[in-house]
Amino acid sequence: MSTSIVAAVAARKREERDARDARDPAGTIGRNRNRALVALVMSALWGGAAIIVVTTVAPAAFKVLPTRSLAGALVGQVLPVLFLAGLFMGAAVFALTTRGAPFALLRRIGAAGWIAGCAIAQVVIGPKIAALRVTIGPSVDALPITDPLRIAFGRLHGLSVLSLGVAMIFALLALVGALLALRAVAAPRDAQA
């Protein structure tokens, strides 16, 4: 009697597995879920780091350090790490998002904008700021407000802040796309339960 119960349970499990495999023969639901989860975690980690730099590290450096030059030097050491991490993490999120996956377009647009913001800040604006700092010398604040070098530095600084803001917005877009994708691939599983 117990053998027939075990056989019936095993047969039912086989039928459920066969039905699941018929709906998802390549296992794409599981892969999409894992990729969306990794994209979500990477976007959240980088976004959190960016928020900490913007809201805590930079303001604290300018408040605590004795000169604005030292504070600028400190933040200037932190930002390249953030931008390079953004480049790599954005590229990973882009690569993990396969065509046809749920919310793939949203995730790819988010990752592409995130990469672009970080790349512009790191590769285009960062070297120009570094070269201008060498030309200006130890303190930007020592220059008169109307000095063309100080004005150029201010513009580049503004563009760097803008690039970081753009990268943060697009990383958030990638995060939302990953979250929506997780919900979309979880829905078929929830329906089975």
The single-letter code of the amino acid at 38 is V
Angle at 129 between CA 124 and CA 131, to 5 degrees: 100
Mean pLDDT by runs of 10 across the 193 residues of the chain is 77 72 58 89 97 97 93 94 98 91 92 98 96 90 93 96 98 96 73 50
Task: Give me the DSSP letters along 24-83.
Answer: STT-HHHHHHHHHHHHHHHHHHHHHHHHHIIIIIHHHHHHHSSSHHHHHHHHHHHHHHHH
pLDDT of residue 193: 47
Boundaries of every domain in the chain: 29-192
pLDDT attached to residue 91: 97
CA atoms within 13 A on the CB side of 126: 20
3-state secondary structure 114-138: HHHHHHHHHHHHHHHHHHHHHHHCC
Q: For the chain, what is the radius of gyration of the CA atoms?
A: 25
For position 184, what pLDDT does the model report? Answer: 86
Amino acid at 166: V
pLDDT digits (tens, 9 = 90+) for 101-145: 889 999 999 999 999 999 999 999 999 999 999 999 888 888 999
Contacts of 121 (CB under 8 A, 6+ apart): 79, 83, 160, 163, 164, 167
In this prediction, residue 139 carries a pLDDT of 87
